[in-house]
Amino acid sequence: MKMRLEKRSRLVMIGDSITDCGRDYNATPAGWGSFGDGYVNLVNACLTGLAPSYGIMVANKGVNGNTIRDLKKRWQKDVLDLKPDYVSVMIGINDVWRHFDGVLQQTEQVGTEEYRRIYDELITETKPKVKDIFIMSPFMIEPNRQDPMRRMVDEYADIARETAARHGLLYVDVQKKIDAFLEELSPYIICSDRVHPNVQGHMIVAKAFLDGLGFSWE
């Protein structure tokens, strides 16, 4: 299968802390320290080291704690102003998490309808300006699918999936890959808080994304 990125193209990867993963906010996009230590760094490493002829520029625009509402506020600056050829989006875990850890702080929460509406607005605005958009599922490293937070993450992931289908976009089902791992080994091997993966967990995310692009591992 041919890779879905054209040569000499620009890929902006936007999301929350899972995307951010300690990147230097002051670094030049695709420059030293700009990739963080997570799946974006691994994606960049594979595209650069294993497909050097493509010359892909990868820019990490994850920000810790972001919800889809936060993405909307910075979309122009962190996505459109970079004039990307391709955009990947992974957002939703904080939209869910605040329903559980933000109650006593009276955090303003993002419900499913707002999540669906903003996601659709961002895609509708961006699609005519880029070659393609890739939607990555929010995920939770929790094997019990009846756990209340895991059930809600799955609900928001379904909205992301529906958004991708409605716009004819690639949907990368990261949760499916995480669940396959959890059938074999404990979640504590790749995560300590059910949300933020370690490097092994980020490898699962990166491979899910690259497989979706048709990246050749040979």
What number is the average pLDDT over the span 195-214? 98
Q: What is the DSSP string of 30-73?
A: TSTT-S-SSHHHHHHHHHHHH-GGG--EEEEEE-TT--HHHHHH
In-domain check, residue 82: yes
**pLDDT higher than 90, residue 213:** yes
pLDDT the model gives residue 43: 98
Supply the mean pLDDT for the chain: 97
Q: How confident is the model at residue 81 (pLDDT cuts 50, 70, 90)?
A: very high
Q: State the Rg of the chain over Cα.
A: 16
Q: Other C-beta atoms within 10 Å of 39: how many?
A: 32
pLDDT tens readout for residues 36-79: 999 999 999 999 999 999 999 999 999 999 999 999 999 999 99
Type of residue at 90: M
Whether residue 20 contacts residue 60, with contact meaning beta carbons closer than 8 Å, is answered with yes
- Cα(132)–Cα(165) distance, rounded to whole angstroms? 13
pLDDT the model gives residue 94: 97
Domain count, the chain: 1
Whether residue 11 contacts residue 57, with contact meaning beta carbons closer than 8 Å, is answered with yes
Residue 129 structural domain: 10-213
Cβ contacts of 182 within 8 Å, gap of 6 or more: 141, 143
In-domain check, residue 218: no
In-domain check, residue 142: yes
pLDDT the model gives residue 107: 82
What number is the average pLDDT over the span 12-26? 98
Does the predicted TM-score (pTM) go above 0.95?
A: yes
Cβ contacts of 101 within 8 Å, gap of 6 or more: none
- Cα(154)–Cα(122) distance, rounded to whole angstroms? 21
In-domain check, residue 209: yes
In-domain check, residue 129: yes
In-domain check, residue 4: no
Active-site positions read: 17, 193, 196
pLDDT the model gives residue 1: 65
**Side by side, which strands form the sheet with 170-172?**
57-62, 10-15, 86-90, 132-136, 170-172
Token output for 135:
């939607």
What number is the average pLDDT over the span 188-198? 97
pLDDT the model gives residue 84: 98
In-domain check, residue 198: yes
Q: What is the CATH number of the domain that holds 158?
A: 3.40.50.1110
pLDDT tens readout for residues 176-190: 999 999 999 999 999
In-domain check, residue 114: yes
